[in-house]
Structure 1
Amino acid sequence: WCYCDSQAKRMRTATLILALFTVFVVTAWANNPGLVARITDKGIDYARVKGIQSLQKALTKIKIPDFTGKFRIKHFLKVHYSFYNIIIRNFQLPSSSITLVPGTGLKVSIQNAFIELNGQWRVKMKIMRTHGSFRVNVKGLSASVGLKLGADGSGRPTVSTFSCSSHISAVKVHISGRLSWLYKIFKKSIESRLRKSLENKMCSVIQKSITEKLQPILQTLKVTAKVDKYAGINYSLVSPPTITSVSLDLGLKGEFFDLFHHVKIPFDASALNIPLGQNRMLYFGLSKYFFNSAGFIYHAVGALVKNITDDMIPKESKIRLNTTYFGLLIPQVYKILCNLYIYIYIYIYVPPPLNCSKETLKFTHQKRKDSSIILILPSELLKMSTKIFKKNTSILAKIGVVDNRITAKVNLDRLQMTLKHSDVGTFSVSVLNIAINFCVSWILLPEVNDLLAKGYPLPVMDHIKLSDITIEPKQNFLLFGANVIYN
């Protein structure tokens, strides 16, 4: 009884550990991606063409082993033969196809390939020796390989073969030289050995190409991309690739992060429902989570702060950041102080959320507690400030892609402000709007757009260039379509 009870406890413990491990694994892969990359049939076919071109080059380098053997003629004459220096002169793969294997990966098939080989032969008998050349025509070569797609511990995609088979319909050897009639005696043996050798070599070369060429290309996906001195982007896979009969999706984290400190994003990504499209090879679905995580991180590191001083304003402008000019707008300032410089301190209290719709892409300041404030301060020597609250404001964003980087240009609606607090008494903010809007439009926005023009890197592997780019706002995400050029 004690033994059975102890064994039952061990079984329960093992079951509990297995259950906890399963929960941990499922939870680790459960997060919705902030970015989904979809490879369409057009993109998969382009990969097939490039892959076949690379495979064809590799197959032409196959080394065929020498063949040796012996036989007797009429039980008394022993003949030794050898076929050597066998070189592939031509290897053509005229027909190939690629299909999706749901839940697993891809299946690549090659049909009706043919090979031309050249080589040397020699025959040695007791009474004589001779040699010559030969050529081989291999027809009806077919091969099928299954590719399993996955993800490694770093969040990069992986590929491996889970099946491979090859078959050759016909091998014809043509001999030239003296005594070539001897070839007829061992013709079937040589053709059979060549067929088996080539069939075995096909799969080994394909598997080697997958391991040494395709897998290293996938590993060039940068799972983290540095943006600037403040932030980077996490592009690691949140789950293995999702493969159906009609699509291949890569779910990427798509999240900005602080380069120096761990900062948890306080909101989650929503599920992305990318429509099926075949006009482009590749589609990127960037959820609003991607953009909003950027706003949160830049706000957290203190990057959404700006001081505007008088020396930033064009000299020809009539608007000056001093108490003389602002005294015209705020008479109380001029009565207390004259001919002193002031500066405008802009601080965004809460980063504006991005709203994606089917028509527009905009950042909107909603009615929140102190959504953002603009402070106008005299010289630091003075204990005096005016705090102005900015009302709802929309920032329209125009998005583009240049050199595999997301670029943007923003336009700001005219700011409308209300007075929240003043150390110099009340005054009319409507007149002040003119100066503030000038400073924002002529100083702040150009700086912001210069930074946005530098762009943010997209998760693209080495040697790949995006072209024919389309951009379309969808509900809660932005859809990029592109063709691919691989060099």
Structure 2
Amino acid sequence: MGMQSVAVACGALALCLALSTATNPGFVVRITQAGLDYAQEQGIAILQKELAQLKLQDFSGKSGKVHYSFSRLHIPTFRLPHSRITPVPNVGLQVSISNAFAELNGDWRVKFLFIKGHGSFNLKVENVNLKIILRLGSDTTGRPTISTSDCSARISNVRVRFSGKLGWLYNLFHRVIERKLRKNLESKVCDNVAKSVHNELQKYIQTLPVTAKIDNNFGIDYSLVAPPRATPKSLDLDLKGEFYSLAHRSPIPFSPLPLAFPSDHERMVYFGASSYFFNTAGIAYHEAGALVFEITEAMIPKEARFSLDTSIFSAFIPQLEEKYPNMPMKFRLSTPTAPFLTIGPGGISFQPIVDIQAYAILPNSKLAPLFLLSLTGNVSAVINVRSGRIVGSLDVGRIRLSLKDSAVGTFQVQFLQSIMNILTSNVLLPHLNARLDEGFRLPLPDRIQLSNILVRFHQNFLLLGADVRFQPRG
């Protein structure tokens, strides 16, 4: 094999290894051009305010026999009327600002031979053009980073007017002064842009949660698995998207599948929540023992018109009446395995398996195990977004029962069907739906509100779309 063939083979092997070790995201955030345009509006408003507070250094010089100095320079007006933000593949974002204008005021002093004078001046700056390249990346914690990789400011038109007794003297060499003021301002504008990006924008984007705490026991890992990816039409953030226990984080026994993200662009932002994202929740809650629920007499609604005691079951379980007559009962529901859902164009569905252990509560408050049932059923979910959180509710179709174990003899489980339907629909589901209605926080930076929500189902992931509004402080 020749050297060229070896190089090709090594390159192909490296590519295969890279592809095999690439981490697919469990959750994707896409900011469309409409979203970038809105972000640009908010950012330009902040930048405009920052530029109006520019501090320019005093400077002095000499032109022929004239010595001059400028001091107390300040900018009462800086306007950025035309701007555009566009993604730059493999880099980040480009911000273009054209036809900006500003005013600059200050004081001047002059010495010409034995003549001294002072006064004020006004500088009008027109046709200011800025180009700013923002490089996007991620740090070791999976947080996004942003920095100014390039900035150019060009001022094509400067007009200065001097007031004071010797203002006429300045007008003799105003072009020299205008050139110096223009260069000073061009340099300071880019310095201030870099400062604003570092102090304001970088600080703000890092409010994007790397971890979203659900409660004292669970959280969601929203760290970046790769730097933000700019495409010609959007900015994509690939996030881990994984639920975990705060006490003990176990590795997930499967990996997220690639998401075939659609080219929708009607909304400013889209969220792709994969089936992996939801299934890690099932694993985390199951392994932590959180998918356990008990049903007692006090939880049964009055409209059900039955008491949870052995007498209601004794008609078809004779041994129950013999061993535990008229005793209160309790059901303990648990999942033998983590629930696993699927997402397709028709929505979210799964068939969880639930073990139901029935107990008799003895006079001394001890529990006597009676029988163990296995319950399965088709469960569907309704998903929405409210207050920046994914919320949902479950609905259960007809359930199916089987007897796994019994300490009171065998019996026909179909006799329990109606009772279990009541307990499922009136006790279990309301409890689960109350928790799901609290929702799980979406990966959003501070002070962002969502509106115009869109919910669509695709193969292997849920697509959420929304428009955004930034809420300034105060």
TM-score by length of 1: 0.89
SS at match of 2:373: strand
Give 3-state SS (helix, strand or coil) of 2:315's partner.
helix
Cα offset, 1:469, TM superposition: 1.4
Partner Cα separation in structure 1 for residue 305 and residue 78 of structure 2: 77
* Equivalent residue letter for 2:387: D
- Corresponding residue for residue 375 of structure 1: 357
User: In 2, Cα distance between the equivalents of 1:36 and 1:363?
Assistant: 23
User: How far has the Cα of 1:438 moved from its partner?
Assistant: 1.2
Which amino acid is the alignment partner of residue 169 of structure 1?
S
Q: Write the deviation string for residues 453-473 of structure 1: whole angstroms up to 9, x where unpaired.
A: 111111111121222211111
**CA distance in structure 1 between the aligned counterparts of 2:423 and 2:164, rounded to whole angstroms:** 92
Match of residue 52 from structure 1: 44
Instruction: Output aligned runs, 1:347-358, within 5 Å.
Output: 347-358=334-345
Match of residue 373 from structure 2 = 388
2:276 is paired with a residue whose SS is helix
Q: Match of 2:90, SS?
A: coil
Distance 2:261 2:358 in 1: 46
Unaligned stretches of 5+ residues in structure 1: 1-18, 73-77, 366-370
Q: How does 1:1-400 map to 2 (within 5 A)?
A: 30-72=22-64, 78-315=65-302, 317-365=304-352, 371-379=353-361, 381=366, 384-391=369-376, 393-400=377-384
Report what 1:416 is aligned to.
400
**CA 1:339–1:169 in structure 2 vs 1: closer, same or farther (change >3 Å)?**
same
CA shift at 1:86, angstroms?
A: 2.1
Report deviation, 1:122.
2.9
Q: CA RMSD in A?
A: 2.4
CA gap of 1:131–1:272, structure 2 versus 1, over 3 A, is same
On the 8 A contact 2:211/2:219 being kept in 1, the answer is yes
- 1:320 alignment partner, SS class: coil
Are positions 1:477 and 2:461 aligned together?
yes
Aligned partner letter, 1:50: Q
SS at match of 2:314: helix
Contact 1:29 1:238 in 2 (8 A): no
State the Cα distance separating 1:484 from its structure 2 match.
1.3
Question: Quick one: percent identity of the two aligned structures?
Answer: 45
Q: Which residue of 1 aligns with 2:438?
A: 454
Name 1:12's counterpart in structure 2.
Answer: none
- Secondary structure at the counterpart of residue 98 of structure 1: strand
Change (3 A) 1:315 1:245: closer
- For structure 2, the 5+ residue unaligned runs are 1-10
SS at match of 1:414: strand
Residues in 2 aligned to 1:412 and 1:265: alpha-carbon distance in whole angstroms: 27
Instruction: Give the counterpart letter for 2:146 in structure 1.
Output: V
1:23-58 per-residue CA deviation (whole Å, 9 max, x = no partner) reads 9x9599721110000010011111111111111111
Q: Counterpart in 2 of 1:10?
A: none
Task: Determine helix, strand or coil for the equivalent of 1:375.
Answer: strand
Match of 2:3 in 1: none
Shift of 1:159: 0.8
| Partner secondary structure for residue 308 of structure 2 | coil
Q: 2: CA distance between counterparts of 1:29 and 1:183? A: 68
Per the TM alignment, residue 404 of structure 1 is displaced from its structure 2 partner at its CA by: 0.9
Shift of 1:315: 4.5
The alignment of Structure 1 onto Structure 2 pairs a total of residues equal to 458
* Cα 1:323/1:93, change in 2 over 3 Å: same
| CA–CA distance in structure 1, aligned partners of residues 186 and 63 of structure 2 | 26
**CA–CA distance in structure 1, aligned partners of residues 449 and 302 of structure 2:** 44
TM-score (norm 2): 0.91
> Which of 409, 413, 418 is the matching residue for 1:425?
409
Quick one: distance in 2 between partners of 1:364 and 1:422?
24
